Structures are given as structure tokens and as C-alpha cells.
Amino acid sequence: MLPTRCRLARVLRVADRTCLLCNGGQESTFHIFADCVVVNRVWFQSEWGLRIQELAKHITDWVHFAMGDEHLARLMGERAWEFTVFAATVMDKVWALCNRLRFRGGKVDLARLCVSVEIAAATQRRLFKEDTNAHQKTRTEGMGHVTLKGQYKVNVDTAFKDGMAAVG
């Protein structure tokens, strides 16, 4: 579970729940990964051109979709794995940005965030494609790594229980 401001408010009685990215909504896991206007701009400006706020109303729905449910497979076909890599990259970069803003201050640079996400996602896709002919290789770079031929591991923790989900 991520220590978002909403979660910290429940546990530590933190008063300010405002999202550090948009200074608008309350910083919940769902908000920072799917509902925040900043994250929505990243998705819309990406090659996917999605309006993700229309895809899910709860973090569980979003995680199931982004990590490869049957709806994603129908929409993206053979590119579903690329979408999942991109979604994981967005989550990784957005959470890193939230932490940078939380601990160092500063402002959101949307153009820089978009470029950072695109470069990291392209790197992960390249690593996957380069390793498709290797029998067994473990090379770590960034937030994911290639494991066995045809497999790809993305280091984004998710937990599901009783219709609830957490992303970390």
C-alpha cells in the first residue's frame, strides 16, 4: 500500500490530503494513477492517446485493466504487453515524482514527465525485444527486467483482496 496523503490522513491524522501533482483532488492511489489531471495528460499525450478517467472508477478496475485483463487484450491485441509496460512505467514515474515533490518540493513539469515516461517505456520494450531470442537472461535496468524467453517482469507491486486493490 502506498503512503498517499489520504492513507496517511487515516493513519497519522495528516490534515492536508491535496494531490501534489495537480493541487486539486485528494491524493489517493486511484487519484494519482488514474484520476489526476496531470496523469490524464500524460496518457492523452502518449502514443496511446487515452482518456483514462473514462476506463475505471476504482483502483481495482484500473489495475486489472492496465495489467492485462481480457478487455485490454481485445482493445490492444498483440500490443497489450506494450500497453502494460507503459502503464507500469507511468505508475513508477508518477509515484517517483510525487515523492520528489513531497520531500524536495518543486513544481510539476508535464513535458519532462511525458518524456521521462516515454524514454523509460521505450527502454523496457527494447530490452524485451532484444531478449526474445535468449534462453535465459536476467538483466536489470530501470523498473523491470527480462527473465526468460517470452516473459517480462515489471516491478510494480499490486495486491488484490475482496474487490480491493493496492498498487505500490
Is residue 152 in a domain? yes
Is residue 18 in a domain? no
Is residue 19 in a domain? no
Is residue 11 in a domain? no
What are the angstrom distances between the C-alpha of 4 and each of 68, 96, 124, 133?
Answer: 25, 12, 27, 41
Is residue 102 in a domain? yes
Is residue 113 in a domain? yes
Pick the closest to residue 58 from 46, 66, 50 (CA basis): 66
Domain that holds residue 70: 30-167
Q: pLDDT digits over 80-94, tens only?
A: 888 888 998 999 999
Q: How many domains does the chain have?
A: 1
Helix (H) or strand (E) holding 83: helix 80-104
Is residue 2 in a domain? no
46-55, 67-76, 116-125, 146-155: the lowest-pLDDT one? 146-155
CA neighbours closer than 13 Å in the CB half-sphere of residue 43: 23
Q: pLDDT digits over 113-163, tens only?
A: 999 999 999 998 888 777 654 534 444 444 444 444 444 455 555 554 454
Give the pairing type, strands 158-161 and 164-167.
antiparallel
| Alpha-carbon dihedral 78, 82, 88, 89, rounded to 10 degrees | -170
